[in-house]
A = this chain, B = another copy of it.
């Protein structure tokens, strides 16, 4: 069965997430509808992972397998884009090995979070605007504690539903660029709402309302905690699935904004 690897960007604002649902509009649902209309047959469509309602993607990866006509990839891509809603775009369609599986073969995912330090007329849908002053240095220092293999149960929605809440975080970066604070987290996989709770917790560190040592404590197994990351879940608007890496892929590109917020010199 022909397999096609798709790379997609989408503005998640209008969608109830990537995953298909019976009563709500989803990105995968729109893509399946359009793909089946172009190919004239039912398709197997699997993404590298779910993105939640309102979360965006700069480069989600999915595979498409079907028994329909073999259409050259460039033309398939154009046909999909001609029919897709304006807020979903297929960046690339490539022939893949029949056994290629977008989720199982992915070796790591990278998420980008955009915190705006001021109100913005343009980028509201693509940032979390935090009014309080944030100490980027302490956010960065605290974020470095996430790197490595830890139990992220405290940062997971419904941890009991997970086979394991241990995750290997490969890299974290926190960087100010103009009036944005960018946070990148790279890991083999992510738990539900994990990135938004890591970012929500880092913002509390930046505000000075939780200390770096307390954050480290959240990664250790056990007892009651004064600080509950679930109460500090960053909104989906600032979150982008930035890249999905497969064996043989090169390094991630340099960290830069999905949408810049120009420096105004004022908050």
Chain A residues within CB distance 8 Å of chain B: 7, 9-11, 56, 58, 74, 77, 81, 86-89, 91-92, 119-122, 124, 126, 256-260, 262, 264-266
Contact = CB atoms under 8 A, between A and B. Distances in A.
Contacts of A259: 122, 259-260
Contacts of A81: 119
A159 to B, nearest CB: 33
A17 to B, nearest CB: 15
Nearest to A74: B266
A9 B258 contact: no
A10 B121 contact: yes
Contacts of A266: 74, 77, 91-92
Contacts of A91: 264-266
Contacts of A121: 9-11, 86-89
15 contacts: A7-B264, A9-B122, A11-B121, A86-B121, A86-B124, A87-B121, A88-B121, A89-B121, A91-B264, A91-B266, A92-B264, A92-B265, A92-B266, A122-B259, A256-B260
Contacts of A89: 119-121
Nearest to A73: B266
Nearest to A126: B122
